[in-house]
């Protein structure tokens, strides 16, 4: 994770909470920052890319390790 990346840990929360936390972090992110979202709700696999596409953000990376989904998102 780059030093200017913002970490949002939404594990333990069900959708739409991870997406809402991602939205808040993206809105507050300084120029050039990216947001890494951690979630363990399987619906995030669908919701996060859909949300990013809606607002013009870009999912740069999506991984799934031991039940934790990780998304690296660049703001629009």
pLDDT tops 90 at residue 42: yes
Q: DSSP of 5-61, one letter per residue? A: PEEEE-TT--TTHHHHHHHHHHHHPPTT--EEEEE--TTHHHHHHHHHHHHT-EEEE
Mean of the pLDDT values across residues 27-37? 94
Query: Which carries the bigger pLDDT value, residue 31 or residue 3?
Result: 31
Q: Tell me whether strands 35-39 and 58-65 are parallel, antiparallel or unpaired.
A: unpaired
**Structure pTM?**
0.93
Q: Which CATH number fits domain 6-74: 3.30.110.40, 3.30.9.10, 3.30.365.10, 2.40.30.20?
A: 3.30.110.40
pLDDT over 80 at 56, yes or no? yes
């Amino acid at each position: 994770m780059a030093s200017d990346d913002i970490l949002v840990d939404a594990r333990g929360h069900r959708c739409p909470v991870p997406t809402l936390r991602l939205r808040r972090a993206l809105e507050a992110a300084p120029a050039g920052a990216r947001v890494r979202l951690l979630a363990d709700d399987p619906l995030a696999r669908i919701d996060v890319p859909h949300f990013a596409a809606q607002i013009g953000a870009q999912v740069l990376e999506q991984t799934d390790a031991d039940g934790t989904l990780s998304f690296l998102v660049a703001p629009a």
